[in-house]
Amino acid sequence: MHEYIKCLLVLLYIITICLISARWYLYYIQNPGKSAWTMSKIFSFKIREAPYWSFFIRYIGIDKKLLFSGIKLYSCSVLYLMIVNQTRVEYDLKMITLFFSLGILGHGLIIHQLRDMEERYLRFYRAVPLSLLKRFLQYAILYFILLIPEILTIILLTPHYLRIRDAIIFIFLSYSILLFLNSLLFIQFFKMKDYLKIILCIFFIEYFSVLSGSCPLLCALLLISAISIFFSRYYKFER
């Protein structure tokens, strides 16, 4: 009968009642035994879920404090002291890059233990309805947070002791290495002994790239490899 407005009002009324009722019941499910309630509590849409990367940060803060502190102490102190002392005489970052890379590759010990913890206690995350991009972003945020001490050290040295271009390369190299080491463990969960052999091979590859001046290319290859391995192996991996 072409009563579109009246039908629309009825539909909106029904949808509103359904949404209000669903939110009402959800409040009582999440707060069992509470008889008193207010509209502000029921219609509070504050996000309660902890981000996935926070589980790893808590794990490091509780169980891996000494390992994390030792790695950070080495990487940050080596980076700062070597750059400050060497660039005053001659601006050559090849040896500094190699020594700094040892500290970054040392994060592989933490990454291996994080993946071990994830496969033991966080396997439910595989069933969560999230896209691969969102899953990868969780790891990207995690390793960016882990690199904050090194990033702050690099910022402190720039531009007085360190050129902006080289500072970007240091950050990019560190970040791409961590993401690559994480993605490797989705191909196969290597034993620590085998994983350390792979880390040593990566160091030799980086050694030749530093000598040839192709660090930016290596950074790009590591980052592209990390992304492609993660997207192709995440759902196929099984420990």
Regarding whether 131 and 15 lie in a shared domain, the answer is: no
Q: Residue 1: pLDDT band by 50, 70, 90 thresholds?
A: confident
User: Is the residue at 31 inside a domain?
Assistant: yes
Q: pLDDT digit string (tens) for 12-33? A: 999 999 999 998 888 888 877 6
User: Is the residue at 209 inside a domain?
Assistant: yes
Domains in the chain, number: 2
Regarding whether 198 and 163 lie in a shared domain, the answer is: yes
Regarding whether 32 and 66 lie in a shared domain, the answer is: no
- Model confidence, pTM: 0.76
Regarding whether 142 and 32 lie in a shared domain, the answer is: no
Regarding whether 65 and 15 lie in a shared domain, the answer is: no
**ω before 216 within 30° of 0 (cis)?**
no
Q: What is the mean pLDDT of the chain?
A: 87
Decide if pLDDT at 138 tops 90: yes
User: Is the residue at 47 inside a domain?
Assistant: no
Regarding whether 111 and 64 lie in a shared domain, the answer is: yes
Least confident range from 51-55, 86-90, 98-102, 225-229: namely 86-90
Provide mean pLDDT across the span 142-160: 91
Regarding whether 80 and 197 lie in a shared domain, the answer is: yes
Provide mean pLDDT across the span 39-51: 59
What DSSP string runs through 1-29? ---HHHHHHHHHHHHHHHHHHHHHHHHHH
Distance between CA atoms of residues 52 and 36, nearest Å: 33
Provide mean pLDDT across the span 121-148: 90
User: Is the residue at 27 inside a domain?
Assistant: yes
Regarding whether 64 and 115 lie in a shared domain, the answer is: yes
User: Is the residue at 239 inside a domain?
Assistant: no
Range of the domain at 16: 4-42
Q: What is the reported pLDDT for 84?
A: 84
Regarding whether 14 and 118 lie in a shared domain, the answer is: no
Regarding whether 63 and 17 lie in a shared domain, the answer is: no
Q: What is the reported pLDDT for 142?
A: 94
Regarding whether 103 and 9 lie in a shared domain, the answer is: no
Task: Give yes or no for a contact between 161 and 83, defined as CB atoms under 8 angstroms apart.
Answer: yes
User: Is the residue at 64 inside a domain?
Assistant: yes
